């Protein structure tokens, strides 16, 4: 970030605006004054000590714009202190990632002068978001002007305002110059090159950079699969031995692929300083509530919520609910089968146009019901995960993703595999592609135009919000399932997925830069529960591949007299493959040796420093 | 440890003797002088700074005793400094385990006066062993008086002397008073009580205490299994549903049992200060060799050996060797079957006394060959593991145990399961019991007599060396296999194992106190690779239990027309059970919450202290 450089908008605000805050246009004046005061107030008084300015849009086309739009910025010093508060890790002089401290700022690598450019844009916005989120109520019983919007000590002010609709949204602002540079290195170059992950991380944060890293890694990893798949497809090798060979290759590939990705992501995350950040030390997410108390680890004042209560909520409410939903979706499917059988029997008795149409009715009803159920389930899952009151954003996300994936798994299981999956995913995928194209056309018109701050804010306020990497990972997850579950019977799958992903990279990149509001950076050390999901899928793949091989007519021809023997052999092979897979996963270390050494060195230095500190303390007392 | 209390032997040495050092009786005088000087020399000169005295035994019955027996002791101050060197963790004033520092000794809990009784006996002996082991050669090219016993900078002196036969043995001395107290609380009381784990740990160290903790835990955990097994056995419930129920119970039990043990062992290990000790910070084992360099983590001078070389040795030599041995043992078994078939055919052709005896010949040859192969394999495994050059004693042990277990697994697989196992293990087990009894009788005569130091040393020098917990864990492992693999068809197994273990506790306790030399304490945070072995066994148990259920005639009667369907259902159930098992293991956290919090707090404090330290350093420069 380069503070003070792009002050072409100095007519509007005296600082570089980083975050936009939009309040409802009928917000009471006293609430606004109170909020702005809290944001501007010194930290020692419980404020955020940030800079904030109002943006007044001129009335356009007779329509009055929302007057309550604010931009938030900060002094460089405040940001650096905030970096210490949120616990950023930066590279020290000696090449090791260490917790950043303001007092020691000059000993960190890449810190020059007053520290301009030391923090990335995404980091500055993350720090401001963190400071806003942790603006907690003191002794106010309610928001001034809104006696119904209750507060209690420790409650996040921003969160309460947001849930009551007073705060419409807050989002980080694009930096036009950086964005132009990023998009050039990202998707405007024609020449073949790797993703500029460091630039992406710099601009969008670690979460998104890891997604694009994964996308690229996955695509490259598929190339050998694709290369092997092509001759299988072309020469129609319908041969038992080759099938088995391909299945074994598939298995080894998917295991090694996922294990090596863990190492890659550890290397990325170490370099970005997120691997050493311990979850237990992080500040809680804004939605986390509980009585104000002290964190037993850091000793900081923050809401405290007993984890036993959370466990009870998860195991006594969420898990039974999810299981009930699974049962329900299974039941609905059974009803659908009954209905279809009934429709077919009616048609067979009296085949005419009316009964011919009747044939389609069960499927239509089923599709609509499933769609509605899915929608309801998604809402319920989000509500429940919120109610479980997870302390960290990452564990919130993990539990949410897990719930959604479980329901997806039943859809996969309850639909008769293979055919239905092909039928269900291909349209889904094509439709998503279409949606993307529409967005593309819509936004291309105003891609790179230079706009003054006021118009930029107005434009970005209206952009869609990027809802996180969930859908993107989900697509890759389905593609991975497609490759690993069925590549044995449809060897060209990997080729198609590679082709898809090559365009995917570009469309996702464009989407991030021009279609959506800029998202807040989410520090991430790995791809979270998706790693688990991919691993589970690769285990299921072993089972299905073995089953498919067992079903194939060539294999059956090998054991003409005894089906039992054939099944037992297939099951035995499956067990050996699974055992081999687990051993392979166990043997490959998750973190590369050099990173392990660096992490251990940090830990050792820390323990030594603590010993010395305790000695000093003992001497002083 | 209570220094200065038991100086009834002040006629022989002026300090409490802790460790006995026996050199060969023809050791050259100059080598002895050199070694004693190195042991007595100041640490800054590269010595161990310990106290050492020669013991001169009077000639008995005309036989001349070995004159080169020495006892090693230490001043209290030196031991406390040594405790810091080896990185002991002790409870701090605030209840958190912290690395012990001499300078800050008074802030630790249970540190009174000059620190007498602060370190346990086992810890003192461990420290002395550590100091002796890390006595490294400086510029000597060979041991004085032995031009052939080469040395190079960094080589462990003790290790070289031992491998060349100059140092016959060194072992810790029993403390008669403590031993009496321990044996009273351990196995001399008749009343039912838990194992005095803290006392055992105090006297024998963490490794053994964990073994006894595991033994006790395992025995208690078996009680519900035994209680369920009795009615199954008495009423002969040969019922399909009950079988399945019992198998499911068995599975849940073995999973929960192993997961809860992890939590228990973490709790023990935290309280004993071994959980926080990081392997990477520990000093290398005495057998570890390599060019003298600097540890990249601690910065200490020690032998350095690239882990890539070790990996190469493991994967290119050890793994192929183990696989070759497995193949060989399989091949030998095939030859045995051929021989037996041949003998039977000869007997059938011409049945008389000579050919009748011939029937037994293949089995006898096979048994002898297997026994020899096993012995050779054990030697080879130990040699290879040593050659792999592991840095830590614990990883050395883990690799050794793994190699031996793999060969054991083939024995289990290659022998036709069930019957042969029963036949093979019961005699093995009975034989081991007998051996123990013999030992017991032999040593009981001189159990608790009070002996002067000279005679005590002489007696203990001749005692057998305890070779580690391997055989003890192996026995428990086999018993666990016995219970979990076959409880379904032989429900009384758990009862028998409980009965065995109750006597096992007493005989093992007696063995440790009176049959063997006292072993050096081995700090352990868990039961190491045995946890993996038990978990693997419990997975195999699911497979075998399902197979046994599938084989049972009751189940076959359920599917009279279609064997295929039966197999498919059994396989499906097996997969569900395995999935359930993995989910259960995943859901139960390995470390209890409160210990997690304490560990995280230590880490947080450390990182904060490191930040402050770096600031101070920056200010100073």
Say if residues B33 and B2 touch (Cβ distance below 8 Å): no
Of B92, B296, B604, the CB nearest to A281: B604
According to the model, what pLDDT value does residue A238 have? 62
Say if residues A521 and A205 touch (Cβ distance below 8 Å): yes
The C-alpha atoms of residue B307 and residue B390 are separated, in whole angstroms, by: 9
* Bridge partners (DSSP) listed for residue A143: A146
Which residues does B contribute to its contact with A (CB < 8 Å)? 92, 98-99, 101, 103-104, 106-107, 278, 280-281, 296-298, 307, 543, 563-564, 567-568, 571, 575, 593, 596-597, 600-607, 609-615, 618
Contact at CB, A99 and B611, closer than 8 angstroms: yes
Q: A571 contacts in B (CB within 8 Å)?
A: 567, 571
pLDDT (tens digit per residue) in A338-363: 888 898 898 888 888 888 888 888 87
Q: B596 contacts in A (CB within 8 Å)?
A: 280
Burial tier of B445 (Cβ tally within 10 Å: 0-12, 13-18, 19+): exposed
The distance of B102 to chain A (nearest Cα, Å) reads 9
Of B596, B601, B606, the CB nearest to A606: B606
According to the model, what pLDDT value does residue A280 have? 65
Of B278, B609, B614, the CB nearest to A104: B614
Of B101, B563, B571, the CB nearest to A611: B101
Structural Rg of chain A based on CA atoms: 28
pLDDT (tens digit per residue) in A519-552: 988 888 889 889 999 999 899 888 888 887 777 7
* Bridge partners (DSSP) listed for residue B172: B19
Q: Which structure tokens are listed for B281?
A: 């910070």
The C-alpha atoms of residue A427 and residue A574 are separated, in whole angstroms, by: 32
Phi then psi dihedrals of residue A561, to 5 deg = -90, -30
- CA–CA–CA angle B63, B67, B71 (5° rounding): 130
pLDDT (tens digit per residue) in B327-371: 888 888 888 888 888 988 988 888 888 888 888 888 788 878 877
Terminal-to-terminal C-alpha distance of chain B: 44
* Helix (H) or strand (E) segment spanning residue B108: none
pTM: 0.82
Contact at CB, B611 and A564, closer than 8 angstroms: no
The C-alpha atoms of residue A333 and residue A365 are separated, in whole angstroms, by: 11
Say yes or no to pLDDT of B575 above 70: yes
pLDDT (tens digit per residue) in B5-53: 333 344 445 788 899 999 998 889 999 999 999 999 998 888 889 999 8
Q: Which structure tokens are listed for B84?
A: 């810091």
Q: What is the DSSP string of B452-482?
A: -HHHHHHHHHHSBPP--SHHHHHHHHHHHHH
Sign of the Cα pseudo-torsion (A305, A306, A312, A314, in order): positive
Q: Which structure tokens are listed for B583?
A: 């989910």
pLDDT (tens digit per residue) in A41-99: 998 888 889 999 888 776 666 666 778 889 999 999 999 999 988 888 898 888 888 88
Q: Of the ranges A118-122, A208-212, A231-235, A545-549, which one carries the lowest mean pLDDT score? A: A231-235
The distance of A486 to chain B (nearest Cα, Å) reads 20
Q: What is the DSSP string of B279-336?
A: GGGSPPPTT---EEEE-TTT--EEEE--HHHHHHIIIIIIHHHHHHHHHHHHHHHHHH
According to the model, what pLDDT value does residue B410 have? 62
Q: Tell me which chain B residue has its CA closest to the CA of residue A613.
A: B609
Say yes or no to pLDDT of B412 above 60: no
| Mean pLDDT for all residues in chain A | 82
The distance of A263 to chain B (nearest Cα, Å) reads 16
The C-alpha atoms of residue A285 and residue B338 are separated, in whole angstroms, by: 70
Q: Which structure tokens are listed for B549?
A: 């259920």
- pLDDT bin (cut points 50, 70, 90) of residue A410 is low
pLDDT (tens digit per residue) in A263-285: 999 999 998 988 887 766 777 88
- Taking each helix axis as running N to C, give the angle between helix B206-235 and helix B240-271, from 0 to 180 degrees, rounded to the nearest 10: 160
Contact at CB, B615 and A571, closer than 8 angstroms: no
- pLDDT bin (cut points 50, 70, 90) of residue B76 is very high
By DSSP bridging, strand A291-294 and strand B19-23 are unpaired
Say yes or no to pLDDT of A4 above 50: no
- pLDDT bin (cut points 50, 70, 90) of residue B241 is low
- pLDDT bin (cut points 50, 70, 90) of residue B517 is confident
**Residue in the structure block whose two tokens are 């159990």:** B447
Of B104, B297, B603, the CB nearest to A614: B104
Say yes or no to pLDDT of A105 above 80: yes
Phi then psi dihedrals of residue A459, to 5 deg = -65, -50
Of A101, A563, A568, the CB nearest to B611: A101
According to the model, what pLDDT value does residue B7 have? 35
Q: Tell me which chain A residue has its CA closest to the CA of residue B582.
A: A536
According to the model, what pLDDT value does residue A217 have? 93
Say yes or no to pLDDT of A568 above 60: yes
- pLDDT bin (cut points 50, 70, 90) of residue A423 is very low
ipTM value for the complex = 0.79
- pLDDT bin (cut points 50, 70, 90) of residue A40 is very high
> In chain A, pLDDT over 70 holds for what percent of residues?
87
Say yes or no to pLDDT of B251 above 70: yes
The distance of B105 to chain A (nearest Cα, Å) reads 9
pLDDT (tens digit per residue) in A139-192: 888 888 888 888 887 778 888 898 888 999 999 998 888 888 888 888 776 655
């Amino acid at each position: 970030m380069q503070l003070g450089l792009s002050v072409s908008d100095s007519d509007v605000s005296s600082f570089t605006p980083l975050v936009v805050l939009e309040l409802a246009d009928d917000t009471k004046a006293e609430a606004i004054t109170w909020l702005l005061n809290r944001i501007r107030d010194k930290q020692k008084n419980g404020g955020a000590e940030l800079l904030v300015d109002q943006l007044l849009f001129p009335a356009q086309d007779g329509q009055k714009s929302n007057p309550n739009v604010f931009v938030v910025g900060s002094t460089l010093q405040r940001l650096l202190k905030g970096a210490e508060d949120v616990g950023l890790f930066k590279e020290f002089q000696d090449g090791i990632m260490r917790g950043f401290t303001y007092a020691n700022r000059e000993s960190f690598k890449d810190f020059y002068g007053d520290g301009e450019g030391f923090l990335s844009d995404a980091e500055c916005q993350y720090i401001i978001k963190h400071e806003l989120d942790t603006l907690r109520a003191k002794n106010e019983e309610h928001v001034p002007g809104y006696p119904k919007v209750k507060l209690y000590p420790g409650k996040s002010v921003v969160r309460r305002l947001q849930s009551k609709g007073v705060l419409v949204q807050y989002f980080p602002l694009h930096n036009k110059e950086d964005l132009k540079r990023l998009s050039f290195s990202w998707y405007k170059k024609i020449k073949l090159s790797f993703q500029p992950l460091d630039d992406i991380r710099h601009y969008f944060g670690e979460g998104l950079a890891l997604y694009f890293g994964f996308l690229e890694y996955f695509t490259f990893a598929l190339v050998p699969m694709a290369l092997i798949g092509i001759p299988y497809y072309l020469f129609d090798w319908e041969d038992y031995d080759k099938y088995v060979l391909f299945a074994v290759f598939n298995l080894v590939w998917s295991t090694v692929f996922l294990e090596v990705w863990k190492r890659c992501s550890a290397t990325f995350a170490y370099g970005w300083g997120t691997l050493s950040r311990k979850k237990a030390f992080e500040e809680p997410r804004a939605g986390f509530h509980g009585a104000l108390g002290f964190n037993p680890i850091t000793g900081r004042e923050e809401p405290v919520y007993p984890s036993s209560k959370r466990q009870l909520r998860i195991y006594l409410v969420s898990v039974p609910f999810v299981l009930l939903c699974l049962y329900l979706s299974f039941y609905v499917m059974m009803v659908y089968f009954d209905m279809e059988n009934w429709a077919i029997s009616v048609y067979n008795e009296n085949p005419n146009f009316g009964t011919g149409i009747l044939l389609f009715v069960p499927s239509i009803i089923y599709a609509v019901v499933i769609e509605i159920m899915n929608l309801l389930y998604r809402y319920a899952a989000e509500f429940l995960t919120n109610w479980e009151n997870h302390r960290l954003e990452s564990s919130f996300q993990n539990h949410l993703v897990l719930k959604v994936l479980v329901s997806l798994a039943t859809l996969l299981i309850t639909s008769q595999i293979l055919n239905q999956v092909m039928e269900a995913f291909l349209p889904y995928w094509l439709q998503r592609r279409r949606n993307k194209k529409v967005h593309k056309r819509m936004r291309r018109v105003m891609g790179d135009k230079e706009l003054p701050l006021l118009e930029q804010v107005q434009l970005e306020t209206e952009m869609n919000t990027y809802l996180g990497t969930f859908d993107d990972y989900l697509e890759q997850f389905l593609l991975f399932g497609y490759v690993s579950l069925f590549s044995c019977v449809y060897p060209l799958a990997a080729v198609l997925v590679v082709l898809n992903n090559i365009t995917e990279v570009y469309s996702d990149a464009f989407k991030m830069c021009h279609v959506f509001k800029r998202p807040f950076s989410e520090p991430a050390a790995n791809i979270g529960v998706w790693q688990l999901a991919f691993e589970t899928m690769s285990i299921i793949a072993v089972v299905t591949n073995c089953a498919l091989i067992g079903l194939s007519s060539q294999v059956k021809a090998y054991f003409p007299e005894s089906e039992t023997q054939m099944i037992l052999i297939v099951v035995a092979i499956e067990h050996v493959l699974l055992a081999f897979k687990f051993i392979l996963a166990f043997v490959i270390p998750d973190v590369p040796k050099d990173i392990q050494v660096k992490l251990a060195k940090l830990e050792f230095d820390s323990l030594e420093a603590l010993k010395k500190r305790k000695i000093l303390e003992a001497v002083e007392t």
